[in-house]
Amino acid sequence: MEADPENSFPEIETSFRQIVCLSFLLNAQNADGGWGFHPKSESRAEPTCWALQALRETSAASTEAVARGVRYLRATQLGDGSWPSTPEERTGCWVTALCCWTLQGTPDSAAAVMAGLGWVRDDWPQDSTPWRRFLAKFSTRSQVQPINNSYRGWGWTPGTSSWVEPTSFALIALEAPSDVVPPEAKRRRELGEAMLYDRMCSGGGWNCGNPRVYGVPGVPLVIPTVWALIALRHYGTKPENIMSLDWLDSQIVNIQSAGSLALAKICMEMCGGRWPADAPVLADLYERNGFLESIQVAAWTYLALSARSRWLARTPEKTA
Amino acid sequence: MCQHTLIPSFQRPPSKVVIRRVANYEQDLSALIHESLAAFNLPVKGKTILLKPNLVGLDPLGVMNTHPAVIAATRESFLRSGAAQVLIGDGPALDRDTEAIVESVRLREYIGTLASVFIDLNVDDVARVTLKTHASRLNELYLPKTALGVDFLVSMPKLKTHHWAGVTLSLKNMFGIVPGSCYGWPKNVLHWAGIDRAILDINAACRPDFAIVDGIVGMEGNGPIQGTPKASGVLVFGNDPVAVDATCCRVMGLEPERVKYLSRAGSLLGHLQVNKIQQLGESVASVETNFTVLPEFETISH
């Protein structure tokens, strides 16, 4: 009989995951099937995605909740294939990539994912158009923020600049099986990966996307570093990945929030890093502020304390 | 409640600003702030108040964010004045881990448990707000319902220079109400719309009722994050964010009329001219401390 990977966690972590995180997530689901950023807040695509990603790792008890959440996501997709950050909004944004990632593999979602990824493929950042790149040659700002705009990632909202987190989410979403990935996505992935490496901070790690401003090195942050490393995890032997994983490793003992700690744990496990013995404990950080009642932090914590057998399990093809 | 009705400056009564000298954060700030607020006779009894500090990033040394001692003392003072509820809320612009930021500034040590007091405005419920000023190309913004719905909104910035806007004070601090969950980290759509113009649009849509500027230790040079700490030894209070920011500029040795967004705010949102500002407490001259600015902003220096 095969061992249940969920049973490999210490009992205290298992009970915290089940009693605190799982109950919190299940109780916070809204009548429309979605989740808000907090219990009793309005349903939005982003927290719904995180809750679904966590609940998909649970036992059958969450099946109905997951099905209702998936229906909410599909119902809030816009006609052009994108998802807005809030249902009232009629313009899609970065959250489209997260929705596509979340819906991948769920029954009857292939068409929604294909439409979403088509939108992602066509969502070019505005800062790096050929005209903008020409203008940038005459701008003093290019000396202030020396980045290579021929590498093109994704922005938070259409018509703006490339940033680390939305680019990472788009790259993860585009790891989808080839039958739902639109043509020409490969070239976009290559440009996006190059953009991430270009925006890495000098000692490893990433912040929102400013490795240097006015000659001063930017300071990396945990969450953008986690998402960039996960998006680039197939290049784990590159010096940039190793240096960034080392930077993340050096930060873990000083992390002061459950959200960053949970994501750092997931990232270290996915990228082959070691988890320090003196790392803070997620349950202890929960005691401080109760996650500030954040659905996404509860979901990340659940994921960090589970085997994630359904989470980014597939190894995508490496790009050149 | 945020003032949704736009009143041009020429129709506004004179504004009141109080400057208080404060040597350090260990001083009895509660008594000083309570006494300063009493000068304004603010209508806060039974009201819900939102304090909007400037929390921009991880700050273990306490140099870039509004100091928690000032936030806590202000909260205590409003509660003593009969406020029903005093919330604290911000939406940091560069890092979505708001809990890590408030922990790094030790806010919990000063306030106690944050769960029912602190609102992460980046992930609050939002409402669509049509922008009436059209200073920028933005026609509308989604803004947090907490900021739009409270009875009394207090902008509590740090006294800092800013590498894109010249200075960041109570008007620029309102960038923090724009939710990252809609616009990202950073809120890049505001940069594309033009920072100076977006500041005007946001403040016209949700004008703070009051401002308290933490200038006990400010920041000069490459602010708002990577500048140099500058001990200025002041707290500045006022019932008009434009008048407060103009006064702060003068305290910093800068010309408010030459700060692009402040100059325009002087006709739209409040008073810029000295003769429209009733100045109480310390005089500007007695506390003036010259702040260095980046070369691009040398024109705003005296």
What string of H, E and C letters represents the secondary structure of A128-163? CCHHHHHHHCCCCHHHHCCCCCCCCCECCCCCCCCE
- Examine the pLDDT at B74 and tell me if it is beyond 90: yes
Chain A nearest-CA distance from B8, in A, is 30
pLDDT at residue A313, as a whole number: 54
- Examine the pLDDT at B161 and tell me if it is beyond 80: yes
**What's the one-letter identity of residue B128?**
R
B163 contacts A223? CB cut-off 8 A: no
More confident of the two residues B35 and A127 = B35
Contacts of A290 in chain B (CB under 8 A): 115
A222 vs B: CB within 8 A: yes
CB A171 within 8 A of CB A228: no
Contacts of A86 in chain B (CB under 8 A): 126, 142, 181-182
Both tokens assigned to B74: 């202000």
A161 vs B: CB within 8 A: yes
Contacts of A123 in chain B (CB under 8 A): none
pLDDT in tens, B230-261: 999 999 999 999 999 999 999 999 999 999 99
More confident of the two residues B25 and A13 = B25
Chain B nearest-CA distance from A308, in A, is 23
Which of the residues B108, B188, B228 would you substitute to probe the A interface, choosing the one with the greatest number of A C-beta atoms within 10 Å?
B188
Q: What single DSSP character describes residue B150?
A: S
A161 contacts B192? CB cut-off 8 A: yes
Which of the residues A96, A157, A165, A199 would you substitute to probe the B interface, choosing the one with the greatest number of B C-beta atoms within 10 Å?
A157
pLDDT in tens, B262-289: 999 999 899 999 999 999 999 999 999 9
Q: Collapsing DSSP states into helix, strand and coil, what is residue A210?
A: coil
In a domain, A149, yes or no: no
B117 vs A: CB within 8 A: no
Nearest-CB residue to B99 (from A86, A156, A292): A292
Q: Spell out the domains of chain B, with CATH numbers in brackets.
A: 9-300 (3.40.50)
Q: What single DSSP character describes residue A44?
A: B
Contacts of B294 in chain A (CB under 8 A): 214
Phi then psi for residue B11, to 5 deg, are -95, 0
In a domain, A275, yes or no: no
B104 vs A: CB within 8 A: yes
In a domain, A27, yes or no: yes
**CA-based nearest residue to B53, from B173, B182, B194:** B173
Residue A303's domain spans which residues?
1-76+281-312
Q: What is the mean pLDDT of residues B33-50?
A: 97
Instruction: For residue B114, give the chain A residue with the closest CA.
Output: A289
More confident of the two residues A211 and B4 = A211
Q: H or E segment at B38?
A: helix B29-38
In a domain, A260, yes or no: no
Contacts of B226 in chain A (CB under 8 A): 213-214, 216
What residues contact B54, with CB distance under 8 A and at least 6 apart? B65, B66, B90, B156, B157, B158, B160, B168, B173, B176, B224
In a domain, A300, yes or no: yes
A157 contacts B188? CB cut-off 8 A: yes
Q: What is the mean pLDDT of residues B112-122?
A: 94
pLDDT at residue A5, as a whole number: 61
Percent of chain B with pLDDT over 90: 92
Helices (H), chain A: 11-15, 23-27, 45-55, 63-75, 95-103, 110-122, 130-136, 141-144, 164-173, 185-198, 222-231, 239-251, 258-270, 282-289, 295-304
Q: What is the mean pLDDT of residues B150-157?
A: 98
In a domain, A5, yes or no: yes
A256 contacts B99? CB cut-off 8 A: yes
Q: Quote the CA–CA distance of B147 and B152 in Å, as a whole number.
A: 9
pLDDT at residue A292, as a whole number: 93
**What's the one-letter identity of residue B219?**
M
- Examine the pLDDT at B142 and tell me if it is beyond 90: yes
Contacts of A89 in chain B (CB under 8 A): 128, 142, 182
A213 vs B: CB within 8 A: yes
B99 vs A: CB within 8 A: yes
Prediction pTM value? 0.94
pLDDT in tens, B80-96: 999 999 999 999 999 99
CB atoms within 10 A of CB A1: 3
- Examine the pLDDT at B186 and tell me if it is beyond 80: yes
Domains: count for chain A:
1
In a domain, A63, yes or no: yes
Instruction: Name the pairing type of β-strands B140-144 and B158-162.
Output: unpaired
Spans in chain A with pLDDT lower than 50: 1, 314-320
In a domain, A268, yes or no: no
> How would residue B6 be classed by pLDDT, with cut points 50, 70 and 90?
confident
